[in-house]
Amino acid sequence: MSAVRFPLAEMPDLGPREKGRLLFAGPVDFVKGVVAMPGLPPADRLEVCFAGRSNVGKSSLINALTGRKTLARASNTPGRTQEINYFALGEQRYMVDLPGYGYAEAPLAVVEKWQALLRSYLQGRQTLRRAFVLVDTRHGIKAVDQEILSLLDKSAVTFQVVMTKADKVNAATREANIEQVQAALTKHPAAYPEIVITSSEKGEGIETLRAIIATLE
Ligand SMILES: Nc1nc2c(ncn2[C@@H]2O[C@H](COP(=O)(O)OP(=O)(O)OP(=O)(O)O)[C@@H](O)[C@H]2O)c(=O)[nH]1
Ligand SMILES: [Mg+2]
């Protein structure tokens, strides 16, 4: 049997887990919401971003990671996060909540403005160390995701797929959509070779993701 090219991330060892726990137990602050590139905070620390279609669970994941329920606004209304939202983990890391894409009802002018900003951000942010691309475990990678994956390939920004809302699917759907994601990733040179399965609701994968963010160099 050949090895799976995009295996699920294993539970990290005690050391990285403790590093992750400490990082996220420390101060977490909302820094600012940015609507244009000149508004970005100084690129003085390592940064990760969370991208994904509208409603996939980006804000909820940031809240779960930080253990603060209302830090990033989460809502049932797609397209709620309209800005690039910066959160600081002490002075060590920035976490960036990106505006969701694929929100069908957004006016074209709005969509184009955000696409342009997303493009400049992904291509122009020197300290961006990894993009977490969130994919709903119920749906797998959709056509609307392919655009951002290609953009990340072109920008040479390493991205890691984080599957969200794992609590909402049965085991068979979970397995099928993990395989769908694994197959789709083979076409993307910028894909990091591990997938993380999460549930912001139940806490699955949160400790693993904390450790990943804390140990990036
Ligand atoms: N059951 C379950 N629901 C979730 C989970 N994560 C998010 N949700 C729900 O999904 C909806 C959208 O979550 P958000 O975190 O606001 O999604 P988002 O990606 O930030 O959306 P935009 O800001 O509009 O792009 C909310 O109603 C959340 O409560 C999860 O792990 N499990
Ligand atoms: Mg959001």
Q: Going along the chain, which residue ranges are E strands?
A: 28-34, 46-52, 84-89, 93-97, 128-136, 159-164, 196-197
pLDDT at 78: 60
Claim: this prediction has a pTM higher than 0.75 = yes
pLDDT at 107: 77
Taking the centre of ligand 2 as the mean of its atom positions, its distance from the CA of residue 95, in whole angstroms, is 13
Taking the centre of ligand 1 as the mean of its atom positions, its distance from the CA of residue 15, in whole angstroms, is 30
Ligand 1, atom 13, residue with closest C-alpha: 57
pLDDT at 80: 56
pLDDT at 200: 97
pLDDT at 6: 94
Confidence of residue 113 (pLDDT cuts 50, 70, 90): confident
pLDDT at 77: 63
Mean pLDDT, residues 195-200: 98
Ligand 1, atom 9, residue with closest C-alpha: 57
CA angle 187, 191, 196 (to 5 degrees): 120
Asked if pLDDT for residue 8 goes beyond 90, the answer is yes
Q: Going along 38-112, which residue ranges are E strands?
A: 46-52, 84-89, 93-97
Q: In this predicted model, what pLDDT tens digit does every residue of 123-136 receive, in sequence order?
A: 989 999 999 999 99
Instruction: Name residue, tokens 């997303």.
Output: 118
How many other C-beta atoms lie within 10 A of the C-beta of residue 35? 14
